[in-house]
Structures are given as C-alpha cells and as structure tokens.
C-alpha cells in the first residue's frame, strides 16, 4: 500500500483515500456504483444473506484504508449484494473499525466515506448493544431515534458546523416501521469502550435520556450526515446493560444472542433495504 493512502498520515486527505477505496470496490465488484451501504455490527454478521445474492466479495485488507476485522465473530469481507430484484446494489461492510481500536476517527468513519464515494445515497448502520429497558430481551432489534456521543470527539475536521437535527432519518424509520410495526425506538449512547459500562455509568446514561449503550455508530452517523447520506440506525440488544439485570456481561453472550436473533434480524434488514431501494 502506498504511503500516500495511509489514513494515519495527517497530511493525507481522507476523502482521497475513500475515493481510492471506492475505485477498488468498483473494479473488483464490477459495479461502477452502489446504492445502499450497510455496516454489520455484532450480531448482524449473518443477516445480509437474505437481502439477495452476493455478486462479488472483496477482502477488506485489499481496499485502501481498511484492515482485517478486529472483533471475534466479525467478517473482513466487503460484499456487493443484489437487493432482491430491484436492480439496486447493496455495499455490505462485514465489520467496522471501532474508536477504541485507537486508529483514529478517520479510520472509524472510512467505510462511511467510502460508501459515499461508491455512489450510495443511504447507509444502514447496525450494531450490537446493551439495553436499558428490561422489556428488551436479548435479541430485540431497536431503531435508533437519536444519539448521545460520549466519545468527546468528532469525525468532522475544521470549522464545519453540521446540523444533526433528524440525523436518524424519520423517512427511513417510517419504512422500517412499515416492515415491523412493533419495532421500538431508542436513544443510543456511545461510550468509548472497549470495557463495558459500570452500573453507575448505565444509570448516568439513563438519566441523560439514553435507552441503548454501545461502542460505535455515532461517529459514523455524523460523518454520514456530513457526506449527505440518509442514515438508518438499527441496534440489536444483545444483553441488558450492566446492572439492569444481575447477569455478568460477556462477548460470548453477545455472539449467542446474535445467532439466536439472526433470522428475525435478517428478515427485517432484507425487507427494509428492499423498500429503501424501491423508494429511490
């Protein structure tokens, strides 16, 4: 990889790396453009199959700015998936770079900027998270209505005052509710991680107005809004947040809940993405 495409080099323009990444994706997938991008978080790894056939798969390590997956259970593949018979294409990122990996915010939002450079107009950000509402059993999908970013950073550089009102598109949430009228919505609170919260921090999140606690998504959503992408966020509650139940938290529990919920989440995601493609 040539050094001028290194996201860690502060003199490199991240949009240039994203353009280079999009060019590799177009070349390797044979699709000059894509329409809807998806980022698959914990528990969502098996859900893209139901959207449609994978037409091409590229190892992320071959795409400028990307690396192999850092989280057990995540896939490094970036796939080009036909969205049912709509003629539209989904660009599916099998994993994400997390802020806690310490590679910097540019690396965290690189998939978002690559999606924009690849022609996408919509991005679906999924994640696995902890739930504050005891009624949300592990395996419950929840739409993100708004977020609280507790990372104390931003993907936006310079005096660029991006409006985050309606960051999580009401139009796309309505499409999701059309697929499953029973979907709840919540406010997603991003902590830095990689440790889970203390029970006191979970109570803080609740007092602040949070419903979901996780380690991703908010910085990506902000970068997506800056790029002009329409954003849908869906969380899979894989565990009750620390102190909400008396169970200890473990990544194994997260993976198990994801497995158990894969069919429901896959059907939801496939139907939502198909309707998004049809709405364009």
CB of 222 to ligand 8IG, least distance (A): 18
- Closer to ligand 8IG by CB, 42 or 226: give it: 42
In the bound complex, what is the minimum distance in angstroms from residue 239's beta carbon to ligand 8IG? 5
**DSSP string for residues in 188-249:** EEE---SSPPPHHHHHHHHHTT-SEEESSSHHHHHHHHHHT-EEEEEEEEEEEPBTTBSSPP
Alpha helices in the chain (DSSP H): 14-29, 105-108, 110-117, 170-179, 199-207, 218-227, 251-278
CB under 6 A: which stretch of 5-13, 22-30, 125-133, 163-171 binds ligand 8IG? 125-133
Residue numbers 177-206 binding ligand 8IG by CB under 6 A: 191, 193, 196-197
Answer whether 80's CB lies under 8 Å from 33's CB: no
In total, the chain counts a number of residues equal to 280
How many residues form the binding site for ligand 8IG (CB under 6 A)? 16
Helices 218-227/110-117 angle, 10° precision: 30
Which x/- pattern, by CB under 6 A, does the window 200-239 give for ligand 8IG? -------------xxx----------------------xx
User: In whole angstroms, what is the distance from residue 30 CA to residue 212 CA?
Assistant: 38
- Identify any residues that bridge with 28 across adjacent strands, giving them in sequence order: none
Is residue 197 among the annotated active site residues? yes
Which residue among the candidates 49, 62, 197, 230 is catalytic per the annotation?
197
CB of 201 to ligand 8IG, least distance (A): 9
Task: Count CB atoms within 10 A of the CB of residue 170.
Answer: 9
C-alpha R_g of the chain:
17
* Contact set for ligand 8IG, span 238-257 (CB under 6 A): 238-239, 241, 249, 254
CA dihedral sign, ordered 140, 143, 148, 152: positive
Write the interaction track for ligand 8IG spanning residues 14-53; mark x where CB under 6 A is met and - where it is not.
Answer: ----------------------------x-----------
Q: Is 128 in the site for ligand 8IG (CB under 6 A)?
A: yes
Q: Which of 76, 151 has the CB closer to ligand 8IG?
A: 151
Interface ranges with ligand 8IG (CB under 6 A): 42, 128-130, 191, 193, 196-197, 213-215, 238-239, 241, 249, 254
Task: Enumerate the active-site residues.
Answer: 197
């Amino acid at each position: 990889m040539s050094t001028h495409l290194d996201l860690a080099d502060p003199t490199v323009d991240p949009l240039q790396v994203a353009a280079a990444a999009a060019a590799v994706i177009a070349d390797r997938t044979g699709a000059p453009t894509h329409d809807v991008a998806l980022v698959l978080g914990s528990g969502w790894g098996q859900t893209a199959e139901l959207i449609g056939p994978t037409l091409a798969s590229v190892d992320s390590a071959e795409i400028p700015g990307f690396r192999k997956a850092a989280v057990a259970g995540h896939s490094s593949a970036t796939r080009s998936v036909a969205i049912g018979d709509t003629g539209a294409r989904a660009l599916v990122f099998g994993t994400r770079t997390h802020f806690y990996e310490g590679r910097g915010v540019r690396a965290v939002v690189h998939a978002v900027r690559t999606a924009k450079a690849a022609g996408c107009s919509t991005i679906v950000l999924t994640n696995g998270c902890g739930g504050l509402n005891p009624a949300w059993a592990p395996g419950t999908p929840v739409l993100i209505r708004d977020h609280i970013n507790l990372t104390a950073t931003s993907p936006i550089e310079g005096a660029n005052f991006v409006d985050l009102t309606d960051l999580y598109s009401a139009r796309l949430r309505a499409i999701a509710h059309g697929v499953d009228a029973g979907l709840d919505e919540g406010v997603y609170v991003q902590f830095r991680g990689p440790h889970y919260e203390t029970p006191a921090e979970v109570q803080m999140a609740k007092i602040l107005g949070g419903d979901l606690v996780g380690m991703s998504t908010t910085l990506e959503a902000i970068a997506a809004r800056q790029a002009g992408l329409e954003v849908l966020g869906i969380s899979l509650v894989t565990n009750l947040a620390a102190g909400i139940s008396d169970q200890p938290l473990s990544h194994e529990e997260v993976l198990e809940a994801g497995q158990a919920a894969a069919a429901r989440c896959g059907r939801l995601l496939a139907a939502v993405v198909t309707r998004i493609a049809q709405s364009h």
